[in-house]
Structure 1
Amino acid sequence: MDFTGTRAEIQQRMAATRDLAARRMAVLHELSPRRGERILEIGCGAGLLLREIGLSVGAHGLAAGVDISPDQIAAAERECDGVPGVRAAVGSIAGLEWPDAVFDAAVAEHVLEYLDDPRAALFELRRVMKAGARLVVLATNWDADFWHGPEPELTNPVVAAWRAEVPWPNLPAQLGPMLAAAGFSATRQVPVPVVNSGLGEDTVALWMSRLLAVAAEESGAQARPASWLAALDRADAAGEFFYSSVPILTTAVAV
């Protein structure tokens, strides 16, 4: 999935919310970056996590971010301006421009589930990681995403249009064997849930609903995204809105 144009703008607004700030801290805690380390972020987006990694590894370390979207890399460069050791570049996990065994850790936040072949991506990540390096993957079990408020006949087609863009909608459940095959061990999984009972500017739910609406509009599917968004607003005004999501943090070690 390529976050450019409107999608990039929505993703950047969502990344700035309180909800995702808390999630970034959970990812950072799991990644546990140390001074002087070389850490790779795949799908670095607008660079908010990359900045935190750069600050953690310091001037003698390296925080390398890769994203396929030039819009996102431009945002990441602005976000990380002045942080020594940060390098952000347009690139693809299909072929990383790094030699073998150079990174002490790597992180992929909401990336692998959107790839046609996450197995190949894990093999490529393992190639550039040292033995004993830490890998942190954040992915959502999309079957557990829940919207309450609009009628199901409005919600279901919009959600289905989004699901059609996610080749691996429940990747956390399938990740263990993929990691083992690619040369990782010691897998650990913990949930990082999001719960919103309103549609404020600082919630994931607001910006995720906008993203789903764009996907439904672009898909040409038999969905009514504008009507769905209006129904969400009515439910919110009536105190009847609810959204929950269950991203899963998976941590493994390169062997």
Structure 2
Amino acid sequence: MTSSAFETTTPDAIRYLDRLAVSDPGRFYKRRMFDALDPRAGHRVLDLGCGPGTDLDALAQAVAPAGAVIGVDLDEKMVAAARERTAGRSVVEVRHGDVHDLPLDDDSADRARTDRVLQHVADPLAALGEIRRVLRPGGRLVMGEPDWDTLTVDHPDTHLTRAYTRHVVDRVVRNAAVGRQLARLATECGFTVPEVIPVTQVFRELRVADSILGLERTTRRAVEAGYFSEREAETWLSGLAQGPFLAAVTLYIVVAEV
């Protein structure tokens, strides 16, 4: 069930986030998120789930010289990497913390962002309530999350595509449909939601899609979970490798204001 067309080893988390950020789909949605956030000179901006600091530099440039950028992440390795990468940026501080219990005072930030974070947290609603606590009146939160139920991959056997997507939604991603839920959850927390921006990420190259979606590795997990037989997995992967390739998933960028 392996082919040279697919990446068979799992990349470490920092490498994965870095290559997502420089991919064409990654650059496109991140630019849309940045524009919606509208960070300005003097703002105090939070990057919640900042990872290895991928987006901290751009935020720092926007708020300098009088503003501040605070990155928060639960993973100590991510915090260390982000601190190393932003060591020369005096306006940037990186803190270890949980989005459910932020190490920040009430009404202490002008802007906040979460980028593909809430799909993984234990309680998205509680996390949004905590973010609202730390935003000042007039503050803005911008969230970007995929809706994995919209994942589609072209294949001669559409039943296999449905099985693959069902496995991702059921077993792979903790909050797989959070993209479509963000506007409602934010409203329940007391935010107003002036804008929802759907971004359809389209992959035309197998290797690019595989580097982000982990197609072969996920297929192996689908076999173990009973969504594919070994024979179906071989049929699925060989069909993808033969091409031409097309996959797409919708990511929702949601703007929420206090």
TM-score range, shorter chain: 0.7 to 0.9
Give the TM-score, by structure 1 length: 0.83
What is the identity, as a one-letter code, of the residue corresponding to 2:145?
A
* Closer/same/farther in 2, CA of residues 153 and 177 from structure 1, 3 Å limit: closer
TM-score (norm 2): 0.82
Match runs of 1:1-255 below 5 Å: 6-149=12-155, 151-152=157-158, 155-163=161-169, 164-200=171-207, 203=208, 205-210=209-214, 213-215=216-218, 217=220, 220-222=224-226, 223=228, 227=234, 231-235=239-243, 240-254=244-258
Judged with a 3 Å threshold, the aligned counterparts in structure 2 of structure 1 residues 158 and 8 are, in CA distance, closer, same or farther, namely: farther
Gaps of 5+ in 2: 1-9
What does the per-residue CA deviation read over 1:85-113, in whole Å, with 9 as the maximum and x for residues that have no partner?
11223321111111111000111111112
Deviations 1:121-151 (A, max 9, x none): 0110011110110110111121211112475
SS in 2 for 1:136: strand
RMSD value, Cα: 2.6
For residues 72 and 190 of structure 1, the distance between their equivalents in structure 2, rounded to whole angstroms, comes to 28
Q: Is the 8 A contact 1:157 1:221 kept in 2?
A: no
8 Å Cα contact 2:151/2:248 also seen in 1:
yes
Residues 1:231 and 1:46: Cα distance change in structure 2 (over 3 Å): farther
- The 3 A distance-change label for structure 1 pair 79 and 206 is farther
Distance 1:233 1:18, change over 3 A: same
| Paired residue secondary structure (1:34) | coil
Larger radius of gyration: 2
Counterpart residue type for residue 206 of structure 2: L
Distance 1:29 1:154 in 2: 38
How many residue pairs are counted as aligned between the two chains?
243
Shift of 1:186: 3.7
CA contact (8 A) 1:66 1:88 kept: yes
- Give the whole-Å Cα distance in 1 for the aligned partners of 2:162 and 2:212: 15
Q: Residue 193 of structure 2 contacts residue 254 of structure 2 at CA under 8 Å; is this kept in 1? A: no
**1:39 and 1:64 in contact (8 A); partners too:** yes
Q: Distance in 2 between matches of 1:69 and 1:146?
A: 31
Give per-residue Cα distances to partners, 1:177-213, cap 9 Å, x unaligned.
321221211431011221121135xx4x132232x54
**Residue identity matched to 2:135:** M
Q: 1:230 to 1:35 in 2, by over 3 A?
A: farther
Identify which range, 36-45 or 163-172, moves more after superposition: 163-172
* Runs of 5+ consecutive residues of structure 1 not aligned to the other structure: none
Whether contact under 8 Å (1:113, 1:171) holds in the other structure is yes
CA distance in 2, matches of 1:144, 1:165: 14
Give the conservation status (yes or no) of the 8 Å contact 1:66–1:91.
yes
**Helix, strand or coil at the partner of 1:180:** helix
| Percent of residue pairs bearing the same amino acid type | 28
